Every structure is written in C-alpha cells, then in structure tokens.
Structure 1
Amino acid sequence: MSKMTMSQKILAKHAGLDFVSPGQLIEAELDLVLGNDITSPVAIAQMDKLGADGVFDKDKIALVPDHFVPNKDIKSAENCKCVREFARRNKITNYFEVGEMGIEHALLPEKGLTVPGDLIIGADSHTCTYGALGAFSTGVGSTDMAAGMATGKAWFKVPSAIRFNLSGKLPKYVSGKDLILHIIGMIGVDGALYQSMEFTGEGVANLSMDDRFTIANMAIEAGGKNGIFPVDELTVEYLKEHAPGKEYTVFEADEDAEYVQTYDIDLSSLKSTVAFPHLPENARTFDEIGDIAIDQVVIGSCTNGRISDLRAAAEILKGRHIAEGIRCIVIPATQAIYMQALNEGMIATFINAGCVVSTPTCGPCLGGYMGVLASGEKCVSTTNRNFVGRMGAIDSEIYLASPEVAAASALTGKISSPLDI
C-alpha cells in the first residue's frame, strides 16, 4: 500500500515515481513558475549567468509586477523594466502589466492559472496559497526560480505532514484568518517546519474558497513547506468559473497516510484572533486584549484582499466613519475585485467612511509604500507578517487581524472586536 499524503502523491506523480517517502530527494516537473518585480530581476540575472537559452515553456511562467507597482521610484521602475523586457523577449503568455496585474496570489487563481494537482513554485514565500485548490505550491529562492524557468524542473525534499482535522462551522465575524492565526498560535512559527499542512474533515466544507486561500497563504508563517486542501464541490465550482475547460487531476490522501501529528479543531469554538508584535504566533483573543490605541489600519494583501474580505469590512464600515486621527487604507487585491467592489457600492462606502482606496499592490505589507509606518506607530493589518520593521520603522508595531477586526478597529481607534461595534 502506498501510505501517501495528498502532497506526497502530487510530488510522486511529477517526479515520475510510484511512491515517495518523507525526506526523499526528488527532481520533479513543474506546471508553473512564478515571479514578481522584486524576485524576477534576480532570477533573470541568474539565467543570464547560467547562459540559459530562453525559457522552458512560455505558457508555464507567470510574471506579476505587484510589490512596487505603479513604480514608486527609479529602482522599482528599473526592476519592472527588466521583467517587462524579459517577458517580451521570451513571449511570456502570462505577464501582467499595470492595469491588468493584481497581487500575484489573488491574481493567478482568478485567472485560472492554478488548478488541482499542479506542482507550482514561486519566488515569493506566500506561493503556498494555491494549496487551497488542491495544488502543491511552495515558495523558493530566485536561483531556484531561474533554474525552473530554464529547465521546467526543480529539486524537492519530500515533506512529512501534519493533519488539521476540522469540524463544525465558524461563528459570525470569525473567518479563515482567525483559524490560521489560532493554528500558528497553537503550534508556533516553526511548528510545521518543512512539513505539509494538510486540512481535512467535514469542517472544510464550511470554509469558503477565500477562507481556504487565506489559510493556505499563511502556512509559511508556521514554517510549513505548503498548505493543502482536498478538492470538493466548492473547489469544482470555483474552477468552473475561473478555469473553464482546463484539465486537472484530483489527488486524495490514502486512508492509511502517515502524519507526524493530527490536530482536531472545532471551528465553532474559535473567536476573533489578533497576532501581537512581533511574531504571527503571538495570537490572542479579545479576552486577552486590553486597550491598545492605533494609528493605521490596512485592509488588503495576498492574505485578505479578496472580494469577501472587502464585503466583510464594508458591512462594518457602512454608514459609519473611522475614528479621528486614524488612517485606513483599503487595497483590493486585483483589478477584477476592485471593479466588483465598485459595482457593489463598496468603494463609495469606504471613501464615505474616511478610508483611502488604492490600486492593487503589495506596498504596505512589506514596508514598501502606500502605508509605511513612522517611529512608534501601531497598525492593525490584514497582512501576514508582523516582524520587527516589516511595515516601516523598527519600533513600529503590527497587529495581524481579520478584515472584520481591522474595520472595527478603524471605527474606534483602538484594537476592537466587531461584536462590540
């Protein structure tokens, strides 16, 4: 019997093997190689150094300038020029220019470029997002990206797995963000180091696709090699809308698959959760949170900039105004999400509430632009990392939260539960 997890089966297939076991080194064929405007120029320079003669497949590379786009300075303009010219030279099908681009990990599934059973690498640590669709996807360095673009292959060490067995249904105002913060708080930022985080159980059916994207996105924040969800009816519906006619393979874990550990989580028992500085594992619920005044709120990112995130925030902000002295920045993750939010009246809701709405960008999440923090400032953010200096000054503080908590906090000027609004 094979005794393989979902992730191990995908790796075995792409390595042309019947069976793989944890710790085994394999070379596997890639379905997609991803890069952005920060990591791609390094990979492109590496390809030149290797003397690589073009790319392995112009249809299996995605280049998404999203970190400093529209360009904030000369350096970012040069980086984007490098990516643009490389894409043109190699006739890259999936290059997304300003006006068409979005935050990469929201854009690629929306465009139908990531499907179940795929093996995907990206020179960005949150590439693990696509596990929500039943793909094996993981972040790599720019050198691995270069090798992937040139050869269509990559080396992997087969990961062992941790199973998260979900039951029940999330309460009102509690989302996938709260679940993943709860998990990271429980196991720590290295609790799943180089392991596959596999989500199973009847509770999975009660998580929206956007919830699943958020959870898989932050697998890396627990040290995970990847996060992965089973393919169910909800996944199939998503694919019908975003990847119509595209072929894919559904892999299922063997019943006797081996897991290093199993955690049982009742979704109905979860509460709104906030990760305190300076690690995502510093998770607290509102019975452990005192009076913390804030300066800024960011609602967006590859973690929480999807349409359901904006709807959740808009529902709380509608007909209200953010607190005096608070800055609230709302960033739809893609142009399509921006347009949908516009059509649903949400952009007016945000602006009337005193928020600023930005074009899609990763900007503030990595302290790039569009919301950099000054010395001593505190920010509630729906992003994925709250390391020292992540969003600006090294003595600023980032509190990671759901869009619901972020919107409620913007209204009160302090970290607040949506239940108290």
Structure 2
Amino acid sequence: DLVAQGMDRVFDPTKIKAVIDHVTPAKDSKTALQGKILRDWARRHGIKDFFDVGRNGVCHALFPELGFVRPGFTVIMGDSHTCTHGAFGAFAAGVGTTDLEVGILKGVCAFKTPHTIRINLEGSLRPGVTAKDVILALIAKIGVAGATDRVMEFRGPVVSAMGMEGRMTLCNMAVEAGGTSGDCMPDMTTVEYLWRFIGPQGEHQYSSKEEALRDYQRWISDEDAPYDSVVNLDCSALEPLSTVGYKPDQVKTIRELKNTKVDQVYIGSCTNGRIEDLRQAAAVLKGRRVAESVRGIVSPATPQVYAQALQEGIIQTFMDAGFCVTNPTCGACLGMSNGVLAEGEVCASTTNRNFYGRMGKGGMVHLMSPASAAATAVLGTIANPEDLK
C-alpha cells in the first residue's frame, strides 16, 4: 500500500523489526508471494532485523528473546497479541494497517489516553497451576469485554513469583478480555532476563543489575495512581482450567471436563511455546505415549527454544511420546497450516483463541496449559497431570 501511494520509505530501519511467522515456510503460491513482498521490502530498506525462514520464530516470543523489548518502550505491531510485550513494563499494542503505515513512515502512533485496570493477583499458586490457568480465570471473571480500551496492570505476589515466560503468558491474553495492552512492573526478574543485552557483556547500559533496577523503577506505577477499576483475584484456590464453547471467557475446571474426547493436542504459540512451557509438557510426557486416538503436535516458538529443547532432551521426549515436532510457526493457531482441524474435530491447545473455526472450519478448541494439554494427549480425553497418577 505504501509503494502504491509513492511513500516507499521507513523512518528508521534500526527501529523496525520484521518476521515471517504466521505461515512459514510458505504453504502455497499466495503465502510464498506474501513472503517475497516482505523479503524484498526489508532488503530494499536495509531492515537488519528481518527474520526469514531458518531464523524466524513466533514474533512475540522471538523479539523478547532477542532483547528488543525493554521497560518504558512503546511497541506497535500489526498483530493483536502485541500486548505480550507489556510483561517487560512496556506499552505494547496491536494496531491496524493504517496505524502501522504511519508508524513505519513517521515513527509515531496515536492512541486515546488509555485508562488502566489494576489486577491484583493475590495468594500463591498450587502445584500444577500455571500462568495460563490464572489468565483464563481472570478472563472468566471479567468477561471478553471486561477490559475494552484499557491497560491491564498485573500486580501482586503471584506476578512477582512468576518468571518472564509466565508474565508474557498473562499479558499475551489481555486482548482476550478486550485489553489494549497488558502490563507488569519491571523488577529484578526483568533485569535478570535482559541482563545479557543491557549489561557489560551486551550494550553496557548498566554496570550492575542494581543500577538497572533503580533506573527501571521509574516505570512502576505510583502507589497513589488512579485506576479506572481494581479487580482482585485470589489465586490460592485455582485449579487447572480449560475453555469450553467459543469464547475465552467460557471456562470450566479440567475436573468438570473429564471424559471429553479430543482428536488433536497442540502445544506451542506466542502464549505457550517457550522453553518453560515445553519443559512443563515434557515432564508430563516423560515415559508415556500419546493415546492411539490422538495426534500430538508441538511447535517450539523460536529456533533458540527449539535448540534448547534439543539440548535438554525435550524434543526426544516429545518424539518418544508420539508427537509430531514442527518448526516455529503460528500456522495451527489461526487454522492456516501445521495442524488445521477438520469439521467436527476437537483440539486441546495451548494457544489463545477458541473462536468458532479458529483452528479449522467446524473445529472446537479447548484452551489450556501445556501440562494439561500433555496429560490430555496421554489419556485422549481432557485431563490434568494429577489424572495420570
């Protein structure tokens, strides 16, 4: 569109990141052409951070992994799950094509001043309960429109105890409650994750982790900050959850869904395709096999995650269990490749949307954690790891 309008330029090639992730490698001539257009554009403008086949991964896992997102950054992308990056104390939002074009041309984006909902995640998580269960419980509580045009600020001891992977899972699904962005306050966990990029061995922004933490404090909300509303969720009694129906706020406990048969189990995506997620699933699958009636598919979210999973023996565990291991891609999540459902089929998935036809026309998707998905694969019916004991 920019080429057609005679505006084929970029404001700063060093601040633009591009990746082919939704269908990769190309599955047909149309997606091959889309890849070629992006490839040619990136080369034409000297976009150094363009990630083509072989280097590419799911963008919302790849970009944080490469240190591109920092506290205080403003991040826009043409994908609704851009809210993931708020886990670092950034303002990150998915935008439409017009706003994206303006961002590419001018380096700016206009937003209505967003109001903020403070989400206090209280208590502590029981063994087997994960960030995915927490965000499903929250969406069930406030509804799919409960945070429309709002920033969801995640606070409390449950967030503090999470690693960056768990925080990214929380923020990733803020949009499923209507949120513009999710947000976590930067702390030492954030600093530790970013240290190889911001410390002496990287860009040398900071000489010590304590110095970085002090600087990042400016991005933490004031104690007397005004909020549009406050939502409290006691997480101590939570148990593994799954969606039902075709909306992310339609949620039941795994216990209530026992004996619900599935045809496919999918583990991956920008929600749950990181190394921590694969470790959780592999721990359940170790020494077990996928049920004869189920096909299991796992897609590590980035090449680095794939390589680490290989090194740790996780890929072998998945293969021994009977899973198909695919390259990093978004394909199955949006029903385009690498795991599309047939009409009437049911999938237990670690993705983020269960809309009608999301993973294939006429298919049903149950969203759940990697551990629950792995247990479901073994039994062939919706389950959590406790059911395997």
Q: Please tell me the residue identity of whatever aligns with 1:404.
A: A
Which aligned pairs between 1:22-421 and structure 2 lie closer than 5 A?
Answer: 45=1, 47-243=2-198, 244-245=202-203, 247=205, 250=216, 251-393=219-361, 395-421=362-388
Structure 1 unaligned blocks of 5 or more? 1-44
Number of the residue aligned with 1:32: none
- When the two chains are superposed, the root-mean-square deviation of aligned CA atoms in Å is 1.3
**Hey, what's the Cα distance between the residues in 2 that align with 1:143 and 1:178?**
35
Tell me which amino acid in the other structure corresponds to 1:245.
E
1:34 corresponding residue in structure 2: none
- The residue type equivalent to 2:330 in the other structure is C
What is the distance in 1 between the residues matched to 2:65 and 2:253?
Answer: 32
Q: Deviations over 1:362-404 (max 9, x none)?
A: 01000010110001000000000000110002x2100000001
> Is the Cα–Cα contact under 8 Å of residues 314 and 346 in structure 1 kept in the other structure?
yes
Number of equivalenced pairs: 375
SS of match in other structure, 1:148: helix
- Are 1:110 and 1:242, in contact at CA under 8 Å, matched by a contact in 2? no
Contact 2:258–2:383 (CA<8 Å) still a contact in 1?
no
What SS does structure 1 have at the residue aligned with 2:75?
Answer: strand
The separation in 1 between residues aligned to 2:132 and 2:179, in whole angstroms, is 16
Q: Is the 8 A contact 1:198 1:229 kept in 2?
A: yes
Encode CA deviations 1:124-169: one digit per residue, 9 max, x unaligned: 0000000001100000011211110011011110111111112232
- Tell me by how many angstroms 1:245 deviates: 2.7
Partner letter of residue 287 of structure 2?
G
- If the length of structure 1 is used for normalisation, what is the TM-score? 0.87
Q: Which amino acid aligns with 2:176?
A: E
* Structure 1 Cα separation of the partners of residues 7 and 18 of structure 2: 18
Distance (Å, rounded) in 2 between the aligned partners of 1:102 and 1:302 = 9
Q: CA deviation at 1:263?
A: 1.6
**Structure 2 Cα separation of the partners of residues 49 and 145 of structure 1:** 16
Give, in whole Å, the separation in 2 of the partners of 1:321 and 1:287: 22
* 2:251 counterpart letter in structure 1: A
Give the deviation of 1:188 after TM superposition. 0.6
Question: Any idea what SS the aligned residue of 1:365 has?
Answer: coil
Once the two structures are superposed, what CA deviation does each residue of 1:293-312 show, in whole Å capped at 9, x if it has no partner? 01000000000000000000
Aligned AA for 1:187?
I
Q: State the AA in 2 paired with 1:401.
A: M
Deviation at 1:246, TM superposition (A): 6.6
**Local SS of the residue matching 1:321:** coil
Distance 1:226 1:180 in 2: 14
Q: What secondary structure sits across from 1:268 in the alignment? A: coil
CA distance in structure 1 between the partners assigned to 2:203 and 2:188 by the alignment: 16
Matched residue SS, 1:48: coil
- The aligned residue for residue 26 of structure 1 is none
User: Structure 1 segments of 4 or more deviating over 4 A?
Assistant: 246-249
AA at the equivalent of 1:275: T
Describe the shift of the 1:363–1:242 C-alpha distance in structure 2 as closer, same or farther (beyond 3 A): farther
Q: Deviations over 1:11-68 (max 9, x none)?
A: xxxxxxxxxxxxxxxxxxxxxxxxxxxxxxxxxx2x2244225100001111110011
Q: Distance in 2 between matches of 1:208 and 1:388?
A: 32
- SS, match of residue 93 in structure 2: strand
Supply the distance in 1 between the matched residues of 2:363 and 2:9 (Cα, whole angstroms).
Answer: 44
For the structure 1 residues 411 and 196, does the alpha-carbon distance in structure 2 shift closer, same or farther, using more than 3 Å as the test? same
With the length of structure 2 as denominator, give the TM-score of the two structures: 0.94
Superposed displacement of residue 286, structure 1: 2.9
Structure 1 residue 85: Cα displacement:
0.3
**Distance in 2 between residues matched to 1:242 and 1:390, nearest whole Å:** 36
Aligned 8 A contact 2:10 2:45 in 1: yes
Question: Displacement of 1:335 after TM fit?
Answer: 0.2
